[in-house]
């Protein structure tokens, strides 16, 4: 949006920006600008400081009340510091003097639009995280009370923490809780799931690389360690870290130094490591696929997230909290009937909290009158009494193969949706598909 009462300047800016692919609206007065701003919600506003019926200061105040997130650029033929200070105090992002250099204006508009888009994306992510985030220590079961006591004792420590537990139990939520309750809470929290990553990709993600470090490295790239300096790095599924990368990770923990790929100079870093795994790392050490020195370095403070089946008395409080966060419409209050509550308690929850969230989300969408009944709950595995007798003689691998095929069939062969239903990372599902020799488009197991 352009606001200027000099036609030649206004039309010139409009034509230039339209030639660069922007949709532009323009106004020649404060009155018209207010009408357009209210009606169109522009992404950027370019405003002349002095207009015949007011000033940019007036519009900045008015626009901020309508939409405080719209970035403003103020133009003036009078390049005084006082005017610039006034404009910036009222929320202007930029203050430019006339005559305007069009390429400079274009660069500023482009940057402001990029920042606005990133801000919107961050808001979406933040809202989704708030909706999905559940206190990892919510509940009153003995298992969760013990975990809460242990977590409270170590949350202020800078030593590495290893979170153990099945897939879907909430290990990443506990990692974030530990970060937010530590002295590093105001510093970055950076996470990476190591499952299925090649050593080269994992190394460049963790340590970064210099320009020309490998084919395709056309520019230098910061790694997670650079980004998280002063904060926390969370490595999920650390048991899948390639043995070639493990000694470099150990050096970071012991010496607080690392080297980017292709670099000569070492860089210092100050991070706290929180790692998680569903593997038995001690067994991996015995097998020779996980370094013993790295294992002992990260496992001095172990915390175990209990499986949902081991904290059955927490299920209803978890379900209530999840439903409250899922349903964003304040007019809706989704309730669980008695039979639905009993079904939640009776189910084994192989996918743990992740599966509970998926089951409730689907039920909340499909239920009538904001009331979830037993019929609205679609579990991924049948109840024990419903298991066909002819499956009792199958091996565990055969059962797993059949179940993966069944879930893939139900979701039309979409691996990502199947992984969500199964409560495992997509990379793990791909590995199992390959191991069992089945295809993503699998139908009835034959």
Same domain, 110 and 177: no
Secondary structure of 4-47 as H, E, C letters:
CCCHHHHHHHHHHHHHCCCCCCEECCHHHHHHHHHHHCCCCEEE
Same domain, 32 and 93: yes
DSSP state of 306: P
Same domain, 165 and 287: yes
Q: Is residue 228 part of a domain?
A: yes
Is residue 170 within 8 Å of residue 135, measured between CB atoms?
A: no
Residue 444: the pLDDT is 39
Domain endpoint, select from 304, 335, 370: 304
State the burial class of residue 326 (Cβ atoms within 10 Å of its Cβ: 0-12, 13-18, 19+).
middle
Separation of CA 145 from chain center: 28
In angstroms, rounded to a whole number, what is the distance separating the alpha carbons of residues 257 and 68? 43
Q: What is the CATH number of the domain that holds 99?
A: 3.40.50.2300
Residue pLDDT tens, the chain, 446 long:
999 999 999 999 999 999 998 999 999 999 999 999 988 889 999 999 888 998 888 898 899 888 888 999 988 877 666 777 777 777 788 888 888 899 999 999 999 988 888 777 666 655 555 555 678 999 999 999 999 999 999 999 999 999 999 999 999 999 999 999 999 999 999 999 998 888 999 999 999 988 888 887 788 888 899 999 999 999 999 999 999 999 999 999 999 999 998 888 999 999 999 999 999 999 999 999 999 999 999 999 999 999 999 999 999 999 999 998 887 777 788 999 999 999 999 999 999 999 999 999 999 988 888 899 999 998 865 444 444 445 555 677 777 888 888 888 777 788 877 877 777 877 788 888 888 888 645 533 33
Same domain, 189 and 275: yes
Residue 385: the pLDDT is 40
Same domain, 46 and 30: yes
Q: What is the CATH number of the domain that holds 317?
A: 1.10.8.60
* 301 CB-side CA count, 13 A: 19
Same domain, 183 and 299: yes
Same domain, 206 and 242: yes
Residue 64, number of CB atoms within 10 A of its CB: 14
Same domain, 170 and 212: yes
C-alpha distances out from residue 3 to 52, 233, 398, Å: 11, 47, 70
Q: What is the CATH number of the domain that holds 428?
A: 1.10.10
E strands, 113-183, in order: 161-164
Residue 446: the pLDDT is 38
Count: domains in the chain: 4
Same domain, 300 and 162: yes
State the burial class of residue 195 (Cβ atoms within 10 Å of its Cβ: 0-12, 13-18, 19+).
buried
Q: Is residue 233 part of a domain?
A: yes
Residue 80: the pLDDT is 65
Place of tokens 């294992």: 295
Same domain, 98 and 180: no
Domain range holding 71? 2-124
Q: Is residue 332 part of a domain?
A: yes
Q: Is residue 143 part of a domain?
A: no
Residue 188 sits at φ, ψ, to 5 deg, of: -65, 150
Is residue 116 within 8 Å of residue 44, measured between CB atoms?
A: yes
In angstroms, rounded to a whole number, what is the distance separating the alpha carbons of residues 169 and 179? 18
Same domain, 110 and 208: no
CB-based burial, 94-129: b 16+ in 10 Å, e otherwise: bbbeeebeeeebbebbeebeeeeeeeeeeeeeeeee
The SS3 of residue 248 is helix
Looking only at the bridges linking them, the beta strands covering 45-48 and 72-76 are: parallel
């Amino acid at each position: 949006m352009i606001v200027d009462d000099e036609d030649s300047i206004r039309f010139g800016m409009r034509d230039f920006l339209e030639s660069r692919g922007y949709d532009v609206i323009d106004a020649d007065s404060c009155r018209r600008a207010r009408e357009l701003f209210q009606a169109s919600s522009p992404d950027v506003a370019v405003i002349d400081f002095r207009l015949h019926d007011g000033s940019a200061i007036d519009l900045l105040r008015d626009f901020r009340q309508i939409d405080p997130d719209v970035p403003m650029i103020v133009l003036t033929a009078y390049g005084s510091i006082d005017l610039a200070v006034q404009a910036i105090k009222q929320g202007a992002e930029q203050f430019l003097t006339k005559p305007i250099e069009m390429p400079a204006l274009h660069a500023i508009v482009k940057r402001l639009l990029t920042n606005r888009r990133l801000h919107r994306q961050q808001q979406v992510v933040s809202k989704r995280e708030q909706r999905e985030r559940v206190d990892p220590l919510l509940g009153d079961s003995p298992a969760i009370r013990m975990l809460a006591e242990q977590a409270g004792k170590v949350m202020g420590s800078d030593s590495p923490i290893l979170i153990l537990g099945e897939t879907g139990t909430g290990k990443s939520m506990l990692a974030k809780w530990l970060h937010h309750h530590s002295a590093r809470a105001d510093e970055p929290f950076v996470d990476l799931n190591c499952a299925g990553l090649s050593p080269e990709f994992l190394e460049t993600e963790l340590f970064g690389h210099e320009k020309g470090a490998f084919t395709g490295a056309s520019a230098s790239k910061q790694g997670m360690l650079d980004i998280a300096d002063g904060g926390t790095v969370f490595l999920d599924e650390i048991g899948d870290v390639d043995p070639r990368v493990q000694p470099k990770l150990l050096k970071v923990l012991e010496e607080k130094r690392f080297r980017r790929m292709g670099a000569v100079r070492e860089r210092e870093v100050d991070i706290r490591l929180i790692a998680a795994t569903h593997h038995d790392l001690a067994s991996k050490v015995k097998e020779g696929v996980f370094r013993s020195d790295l294992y002992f370095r990260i496992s001095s403070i172990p915390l175990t997230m209990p499986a949902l089946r081991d904290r059955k008395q927490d299920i209803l409080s978890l379900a209530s909290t999840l439903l409250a966060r899922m349903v964003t419409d304040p007019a809706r209050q989704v309730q669980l009937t008695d039979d639905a509550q009993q079904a939640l308690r009776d189910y084994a929850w192989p996918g743990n909290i992740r599966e509970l969230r998926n089951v409730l989300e689907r039920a909340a969408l499909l239920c009538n009158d904001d009331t979830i009944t037993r019929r609205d709950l679609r579990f991924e595995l049948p109840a024990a009494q419903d298991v066909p007798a002819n499956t009792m003689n199958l091996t565990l691998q055969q059962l797993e193969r059949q179940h993966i095929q069944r879930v893939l069939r139900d979701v039309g062969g979409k691996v990502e949706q199947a992984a969500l239903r199964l409560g495992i990372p997509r990379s793990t599902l791909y590995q199992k598909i390959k191991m069992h020799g089945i295809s993503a488009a699998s139908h009835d197991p034959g």
